[in-house]
């Protein structure tokens, strides 16, 4: 899963690099002259701005005057050699847009549109208005009354749509690439959903919400939303405003839940939470279409992200200083998100006059933000996986310590009881009980330290057969489980090897140390109860003791299947016929 995440993130980053520098679907006409006036007269006989009011250096006036004027001059038409069919500009609120066709003598004809008349949405965050009859036109003047964003005049253009299927706004290649990026962004949502079902961590939920909000932002900002649902211009504006700042709110929740509470100072946590609440409230107010909010909307949307991103970056830096390496990904995440809003500010303020690099920069930064979030979740999950592996390793080590006899190092009674069924299923069908003869005399005569050495050598002998497993049951009693062929001969060899090894390895004992053994073989399908086999072997051990010690007594449990009812009936009928 880790490699799939890395591959996905790399693809998203590669996609942003492949975005064309010019995102327009076809050549367009950009305006050269702009003006601003406090009012406009009747459209049928408009009073155009005086010559001195026009600025023809290609830069639109700043601010949001009551009327923004855009003049596509005869030179603008001549440079492109086009016959435009639509006026295209960015989505925003306005009262009325008037398109005035000009010739050398002045206005020829005009057409006006209100927000309710807008129905043609094009690729990108744009809409298009059909031009009046351009026959004999040498220029076009556009009056935008009460625009809510300076970008409407700054990024206005004239484009050509020869057929109804021709794209306006951004190119179809750009839209295809954006759709591809959206598809790749949806994949982490599936992964995160799986992670949350396993981990139940809050930060995964916040990341799901953050990624989903970015998907919604790109869907709306690219204009793909209009290929999915039919929305009015007013509704599109409202959801566009919400989609622009909601990712900041969810990304803040992701940051606070991702880093431990002690990693971020309490003051910064409270400040970030307060800014999130304040930003959400301001956002809700700004979405409302009240006229008095018109001069505040664009500046607010440009400046709201600044304090929020600044405090979030400060929180990430504080977490890094506290020793949390995982916070580096949060810092990169917020740096990418900040860059996205820088590009959005360049676009929304009208500073960036053309499509292409600013939109590519916005999508690149927002994609980098999602990629960093993907890596952050993956890194955190990887840390948890490694920690779980370390815990399991410690548990296994502790379990082994519990199951091992501290003196001899072989398995103890607890391990015998816990693993009996598993060993039986692995083919260990023979069980032997081993007991040293007269072991108490060894302790009394030579000391307990010598007795301990004797027990350790017994354990070493029992571990010499690869198909035998020894257990110390307590004192001088051991149990051996064996599998394979010639079980009785191998058990006898182990019993005799005990005496030989003790004589060679333990000094100070003046006589041989012998062992008695009771062995029971129970083939598969036989009596498999641990208690039954152990009791049977223990009884055989005591028979060996009473028979003079230093010997092996064994038995093999034979299983006879009782005849079935049908066979018994058949045998009885045959017997009756013979009688």
**In a domain? residue 207:** yes
Would 75 be classed as within a structural domain?
A: yes
Residue span of the structural domain in which 282 resides: 2-18+171-387
pLDDT, position 22: 44
- In terms of Cβ atoms closer than 10 Å to its own Cβ (0-12, 13-18, 19+), residue 491 is buried
Q: Please count the structural domains in the chain.
A: 3
Are 112 and 184 part of one and the same domain? no
Using one digit for the tens of pLDDT, what is the confidence trace for 266-304? Answer: 999 999 999 989 888 888 888 888 878 887 877 777 788
What integer pLDDT is reported at residue 12 of this predicted model? 54
Confidence of residue 434 (pLDDT cuts 50, 70, 90): very high
DSSP class of residue 169 equals B
Q: Which has the higher per-residue pLDDT, 47 or 489?
A: 489
Annotated catalytic residues are 476
Mean pLDDT score, 26-49: 73
* Per-residue pLDDT, 353: 57
Higher pLDDT, 95 or 344: 95
Asked whether the beta carbons of 14 and 62 are under 8 A apart, the reply is no
Distance CA 516, CA 496 (A): 10
- Over residues 373-379, the mean pLDDT reads 80
Decide if 23 is inside a domain: no
Identify the three-state secondary structure at position 369.
Answer: helix
Q: Exposed e or buried b for every residue in 420-431, given b needs 16+ CB within 10 A?
A: beebbeeebbbb
List the single range of 142-151, 163-172, 352-361 with lowest mean pLDDT.
352-361
Could you tell me if residue 575 is inside a domain?
no
Give me the pLDDT at residue 357, please: 75
Instruction: With cut-offs at 50, 70 and 90, classify the pLDDT of residue 20.
Output: very low
* Percent of the chain's residues with pLDDT above 70: 84
Reported as a pLDDT band with limits 50, 70 and 90, residue 453 is: very high
Q: Same domain, yes or no, for 212 and 354?
A: yes
Indicate whether 350 and 490 sit together in one domain: no
Is residue 417 located within the same domain as residue 369? no
Rounded to the nearest 10 degrees, how much is the dihedral formed by the CA atoms of 360, 363, 366, 372? -80
State whether 154 and 244 are in the same domain: no
Is residue 211 assigned to a domain?
yes
Question: Cβ(209)–Cβ(251) under 8 Å?
Answer: no
Q: Tell me what the mean pLDDT of segment 330-355 comes to.
A: 79
Q: Are residues 134 and 179 in the same domain?
A: no
- How far apart CA 203 and CA 184 sit, in angstroms, is 21
pLDDT of 21 reads: 42
How far apart, in Å, do the first and last CA atoms of the chain sit? Answer: 77
Are 12 and 33 contained in the same domain? no
Domain assignment of residue 216, yes or no: yes
Are 275 and 360 in the same domain?
yes
pLDDT at 574 over 50: yes
Per-residue pLDDT of 390-406, as tens digits, reads 766 665 655 566 788 88
How much is the mean pLDDT over the chain? Answer: 82
Same domain? For 452 and 505 the reply is: yes
In a domain, 184, yes or no: yes
Report DSSP letters for 63-100, one per residue: S--SEEEEEE-HHHHHHHT----EEEEE----SEEEEE
Pair (10, 41) in one structural domain = no
pLDDT at 114 over 50: yes
Q: What is the 3-state secondary structure (H, E, C) of 393-438?
A: HHHHHHHHHHHECCCCCCEEHHHHHHHHHHHHHCCCCEEEEEEECC
- Range of 117-131, 149-163, 176-190, 431-445 with top mean pLDDT: 431-445
pLDDT tens for 226-265 read: 888 888 888 888 888 888 888 889 999 888 888 888 888 8
pLDDT at 191 over 80: no
What's the Cα-to-Cα distance from 520 to each of 49, 492, 540, 546, rounded to whole Å? Answer: 113, 13, 8, 18
Domain boundary among 124, 159, 194: 159
Provide the H-helix boundaries in 322-356.
327-348
Specify whether 225 is located in the same domain as 373. Answer: yes
Q: What CATH number is attached to the domain comprising 313? A: 1.20.1070
Q: What is the pTM of this model?
A: 0.64
Are 210 and 350 in the same domain?
yes
């Amino acid at each position: 899963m880790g490699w799939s995440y890395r591959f996905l993130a790399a693809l998203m980053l590669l996609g942003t690099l492949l975005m064309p520098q010019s995102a327009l679907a076809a050549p367009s006409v950009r305006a050269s002259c702009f003006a601003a006036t406090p009012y406009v007269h009747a459209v049928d006989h408009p009073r155009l701005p005086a010559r001195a009011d026009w600025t023809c250096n290609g830069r639109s006036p700043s601010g949001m005057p009551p009327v923004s004027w855009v003049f596509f001059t005869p030179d603008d038409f001549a440079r492109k050699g086009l016959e435009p069919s639509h006026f295209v500009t960015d989505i925003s609120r306005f009262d009325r847009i008037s398109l005035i066709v000009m010739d050398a003598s002045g206005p020829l004809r005009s057409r006006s549109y209100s927000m309710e008349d807008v129905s043609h949405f094009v690729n990108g965050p744009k809409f298009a208005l059909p031009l009046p009859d351009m026959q004999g036109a040498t220029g076009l003047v556009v009056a935008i009354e009460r625009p809510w964003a300076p970008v409407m005049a700054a990024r206005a253009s004239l484009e050509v749509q020869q057929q109804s299927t021709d794209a306006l706004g951004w190119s179809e290649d750009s839209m295809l690439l954006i759709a591809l990026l959206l598809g790749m962004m949806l994949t982490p949502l599936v992964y995160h959903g799986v992670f949350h079902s396993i981990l139940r961590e809050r930060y995964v939920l916040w990341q799901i919400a953050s990624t989903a909000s970015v998907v919604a932002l790109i869907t709306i900002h690219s204009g793909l939303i209009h290929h999915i649902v039919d929305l009015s211009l007013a509704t599109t504006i409202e959801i566009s405003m919400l989609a622009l700042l909601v990712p900041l709110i969810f990304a803040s929740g992701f940051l606070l839940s991702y880093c431990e509470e002690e990693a971020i100072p309490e003051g910064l946590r409270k400040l970030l939470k307060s800014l999130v609440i304040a930003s959400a409230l301001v956002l809700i107010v700004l979405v409302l279409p009240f006229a008095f909010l018109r001069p505040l909307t664009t500046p607010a949307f440009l400046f709201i992200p600044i304090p929020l991103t600044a405090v979030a970056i400060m929180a990430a830096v504080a977490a890094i200083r506290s020793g949390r390496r995982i916070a580096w990904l949060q810092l990169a995440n917020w740096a990418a998100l900040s860059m996205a809003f820088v590009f959005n500010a360049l676009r929304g303020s009208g500073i960036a006059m053309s499509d292409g690099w600013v939109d590519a920069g916005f999508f690149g930064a927002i994609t980098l933000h999602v990629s960093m979030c993907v890596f952050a979740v993956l890194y955190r999950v990887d840390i948890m996986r490694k920690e779980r592996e370390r815990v399991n390793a410690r548990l296994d080590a502790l379990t082994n310590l519990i199951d091992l006899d501290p003196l001899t190092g072989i398995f103890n009674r607890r391990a015998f009881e816990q693993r009996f069924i598993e060993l039986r299923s692995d083919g260990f069908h023979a069980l032997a009980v081993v007991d040293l003869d007269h072991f108490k005399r060894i302790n009394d005569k030579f000391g307990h330290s010598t007795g301990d050495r004797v027990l350790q050598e017994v354990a070493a002998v029992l571990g010499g057969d690869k198909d035998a497993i020894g257990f110390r049951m307590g004192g001088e009693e051991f149990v051996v489980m064996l599998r394979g062929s010639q079980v009785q001969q191998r058990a006898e060899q182990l019993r005799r090897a005990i005496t030989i090894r003790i004589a060679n390895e333990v000094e100070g004992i003046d006589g041989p140390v012998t062992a008695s053994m009771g062995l029971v073989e129970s083939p598969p399908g036989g009596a498999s109860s641990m208690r039954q086999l152990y009791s049977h072997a223990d009884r055989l051990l005591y028979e060996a003791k009473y028979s003079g010690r230093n010997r092996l007594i064994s038995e093999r449990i034979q299983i006879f299947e009782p005849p079935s009812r049908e066979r018994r009936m058949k045998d009885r009928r045959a017997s009756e016929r013979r009688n």
